[in-house]
Structure formats: C-alpha cells, structure tokens
Structure 1
Amino acid sequence: MATIKEKLLRFLYDRPLKSGSRVGANYEIWHVLGMGSYGITYTAEDKMTGKLCAIKQLRPTKAKTVSGIRSFQREAELMRAVSGSGFPELYDVIEQDGSYFLVMEYVDGRTFEDLIFEDGRIFSEVDTMDVLDELCTLVSVLHTQGIYHRDLRIPNILDVGGRLKIIDFGLACYQDDDPEDEDPRYPEKQVMRAVSPSSDFYHMGHFALFLLYSGFEPSQKKERTWEEELSVSQEFKKVLRKMLQIDSPYTEVHQVINDLRELKIMVKKR
C-alpha cells in the first residue's frame, strides 16, 4: 500500500507524456490509455509504418529504483517468451533519457471491466463457465512455460471479437523468480502475489464472481456472502470455492479445465 510520500511523488513526477511526444525514433504518443501502479500506457503511432501501437512507460518514480527497472526488464522478457493470439505481441524495448518503454501490439477490444460497468453486459452461469474455460486455456499456455500472470483481473482480460486476450504482464513472473512484492501484513495479498498456480486460480475465481454479479440485483439490505446471494449451481460453487482456496485448492490448470468442461455438459443438459 502506497504511503502519503509515495503518492505525492507520483503526483509530482509521474505525469504522463504529452500528446505528440516522441518515443525512440519512430513512435508518436497520441493519448493515455491507462495508469497502473508501475506503468503508464499510451496509444501511439509508428510514424514509419502508420501503424497504431500501445506503449507502456515505466513510471518515472519506479525508473529510479532497482526493483522498478528489474520489474520492467522481467516484463519485457516474459512478453518476448509468450506468443499466440491470446497475448499482445512485443515490438520494441526502448530506454530513452532515463525512461523505459515497451512498444507492443495495440489490442482493439473491450475489457471485462468495460463490458460489465459501461456496456451493462450480463453473464449467466453458463456464460461465465464458457469464459473461464477459454481463459484457463490461455493460462495453461503460460503455466506450461513456467509463467504465472498474478493479475488476472477484469481490466486485464479483453474480449476481442469474441475471443479472449490477456494483457499487462507487469506482475507476471517465472516460477523460480523472487519478485519481492509479497507483504506479510496482508494475508490476501500473499495469496494474490504467490509465485505459484494458486495465484492465477485465485484471481480467476474473483474474475468469475464479477461476471456472475453482473446480473445480480439485491433483494435485501442485509449483507450476505456470495454463496448466499448468487443463484449458482452447487457444482459450480464447488469449483469456485477451490479456485478461491476456501476448499482444498487446485494445483494444476488442467484440473480446473476438466471440472469446468464436465460441469458445462451437466448444466447444459438440464
């Protein structure tokens, strides 16, 4: 959790680049796409080809730290290692006047955050299982390479013409990495940032809850658990409880995929 001093430094020094700024020899910044704890992402144009791209800048305050630069280098390495239509392609890595940039494929899609909170999209139980199934298939590509994303939230999963794409590898790491971002003061953060498959399963469990809550309308003021509020089959609740580590957790992604596919067949027959 950022201190007041850290927040003040971010405000003073982490201001986005202006529209029209140049990155490297070829890229011109258009506008800010988003800002995260480690980076600022822009849309930009490759002036050599006229092609639209996305550029992620390491926050200037992070660029002054060894851990920040190490995180940037790790993200670049991981993006080079991952290929396929479910992940953005890395085009270039640029260091310029003490600033660090990743130039990558611009993905023209809608995040699930956009779909739920802006578009008002409602996901049924079967819809949620279908999305989770496809997401798990992409995650299996990462896990096969010993990579854990560790940030599979609704802003980082895109729907691109009906297909999923995972973005933002800022917190991703290899299975033998020591990213130094766990905090013993916050047990949930330890689970979320664990260097193991369980971190991705935990995030995907919460991702699924966001989808399921998209159609929820509270009928009473009394606060209840998600299991009490959501009209979800007991079988799917069991899957979610294992993903959320409430019950004995999954250890491999193929276990999640197998359970989801068996459950989808069962539910669709009803």
Structure 2
Amino acid sequence: MRTIRKLYQFFVDKPIKTGELLNNHYEVLKVIGTGSYGIVYLCEELETREKVVVKQLRPSKSSNRKEVKMFESEISVLRKLSHDKIPTFYGSFLHKKQLFYVMSFIDSDNLEDQIFFSNLTFNEKESLLILYQLLDLVDYLHKKHIYHQDLRIPNILLKNRELFLIDFGLSIHNDEGKETVEMRQQDYYDLGDILLYLLYTTYSSKNKKALPWTEELSLENETVYLLKRLLQIDEPYSNTSEIFTDLHAALSKQTGVTGT
C-alpha cells in the first residue's frame, strides 16, 4: 500500500516548471524545497521584480481534508505573525485548483546545510548566543499562544550569525489562549536538542565507545544545568522567563560576553 502511495505521489506531485506563471503574478524560478506535504518555489513577482517564496500543497494531498486543513492552519498562523526574523505572509491563492501561499524570501542557507556542507561550527559561547536568538523567537510565539512544534536545524536560517525561523507547517495556535504544557515543553525540548546539536559541531571523538553527552562534552556547569532542564532530564522549565534566567547565567560564564 505504501509503495502504491509513493508511486501515486511521484506521478502526481511533479513540481511546476521553471518559467510558469502562478496566479498571473509569480514566475517560478526554481524549486527550493520539498516536504511531506508541500513544495516550495523561489518566484519573482512580475510587477515589483521582488523575489518571493511560494509554497504549494502537494497535489496528491489536495483531496485529503486533513492535509488541506493543516495547510490552511499554517496560513492562519503566518497571518498572525509580524516579526523581522520570521517570513512575512503576503497572501494565498488557488491556481489550477491547487492551494498556494506567498511569503517573503530570506536569502540564506539553513543551519543544517551550513553545518554539513560548509562545515560551520559553534563553540559553547556561540551555541548559547544562537539559543538566545531562538529563545527570543519562541517567547514571541508563545506570547501569541502559538507553538512551533518543529524546531529543527533545517527550519532555521542563519545569515551573518542572525537567525531566522521558518516552516510553520506543524505549528499550533491555541485559539482559546489557554496554556498547553505539552506543546510548550515540546518547543523547550527542541531548543535543548538544537543546543546540544550545535555544541557537538566542535566535538572530536577520542573514544571508540559512545558516551553520554555529559561525559563527552566539556561544558560549564551552568550550560549543563540549562541543557538538563531543557531536555527534561531534570525538572522541566515552565516558562521562557526561567530559561532566559539560566541562559543569562550560562552566558555570564563565557569570557567576553557582554550586552546579553
């Protein structure tokens, strides 16, 4: 059954060709990403010549009510956001009975590509400063009762050490404004996972046997404490203010850190 579904998607989900016009406004320049339910294009807006990102719901998903609802939910979340480190939502449209939306283009590679293909590394101080930027964005989202739920290095763009957050496909907006512990702490756990990932970019294994990160990495006690709470090894954080407090403490141990 899975093979049949994959074959169906292969034939149905063919990306739109370069040069095709979408909604009589956007010329497709190239495909810049594909996901489980979306295809992302770099386009040029014909009147302004501005480069924009256009995301399409995969045609194979367009008859699935649940997938359509998820796509519409992503649009709804983006409409509510106004932050210079998050893509700006421009609008949505139907083209040949297919769903699309448009957002601003951020000219940068994602963090995953920069680590694996450009060999970008982060020491402890740099890792904590990246976490600080990301936590600031998470705090912004949570104050709007929006939970990203997919904080991963492929969904983070980094340009001149400035961080941008993308891909809100799994995000949840709690319309009632009630705090949801599980969703909040999922974002916190993901923050810890990202921090740990960054810290490992400078790690060189000297042991054949894999050891716990607490033994492999040489970190300040404040950073270890922060990580353990983010990863829920110790008491989980209940809000971003608590994380900021401990993050400040961890940063204060790094030489030459000021203005944080």
TM-score in terms of structure 2 length:
0.91
Two-structure CA RMSD over aligned residues (Å):
1.9
| Residue 7 to residue 131, structure 1, CA distance change in 2 (3 Å) | same
Aligned to 1:250: 237
**2:28–2:42 CA contact under 8 A, matched in 1:** yes
The Cα of 1:176 is off from its aligned counterpart by 5.2
**1:53–1:104 CA contact under 8 A, matched in 2:** yes
Q: Distance in 2 between matches of 1:226 and 1:56?
A: 38
Aligned to 1:156: 155
Aligned to 1:73: 72
Q: Distance in 2 between matches of 1:3 and 1:224?
A: 37
Is 1:102 the counterpart of 2:101? The answer is yes
Q: Percent identity?
A: 35
| Residue 176 to residue 199, structure 1, CA distance change in 2 (3 Å) | farther
Which 5+ residue runs of structure 1 have no aligned equivalent? 178-193
Aligned to 1:211: 198
**1:23–1:96 CA contact under 8 A, matched in 2:** yes
Aligned to 1:230: 217
Question: For structure 1, which segment, 110-119 or 52-61, has the greater mean C-alpha deviation from structure 2 after superposition?
Answer: 110-119
| Residue 10 to residue 202, structure 1, CA distance change in 2 (3 Å) | farther
The Cα of 1:195 is off from its aligned counterpart by 5.4
Question: For structure 1, which segment, 227-236 or 248-257, has the greater mean C-alpha deviation from structure 2 after superposition?
Answer: 227-236
Which 5+ residue runs of structure 2 have no aligned equivalent? none
* Corresponding pairs, count: 253
**1:148–1:200 CA contact under 8 A, matched in 2:** yes
The Cα of 1:243 is off from its aligned counterpart by 1.1
Q: Distance in 1 between matches of 2:157 and 2:197?
A: 14
The Cα of 1:167 is off from its aligned counterpart by 0.5
Q: Distance in 2 between matches of 1:59 and 1:238?
A: 43
Q: Give every structure 1 segment of 4 or more consecutive aligned residues whose post-TM-superposition deviation is greater than 3 Å.
A: 2-6
Matches within 5 A, 1:26-175: 26-175=25-174
The Cα of 1:95 is off from its aligned counterpart by 1.4
Provide, for residues 15-50 of structure 1, a one-character-per-residue CA deviation record: whole Å limited to 9, x for no partner: 211111221110011111111112111100111211
TM-score in terms of structure 1 length:
0.88
Q: Which amino acid aligns with 1:232?
A: L
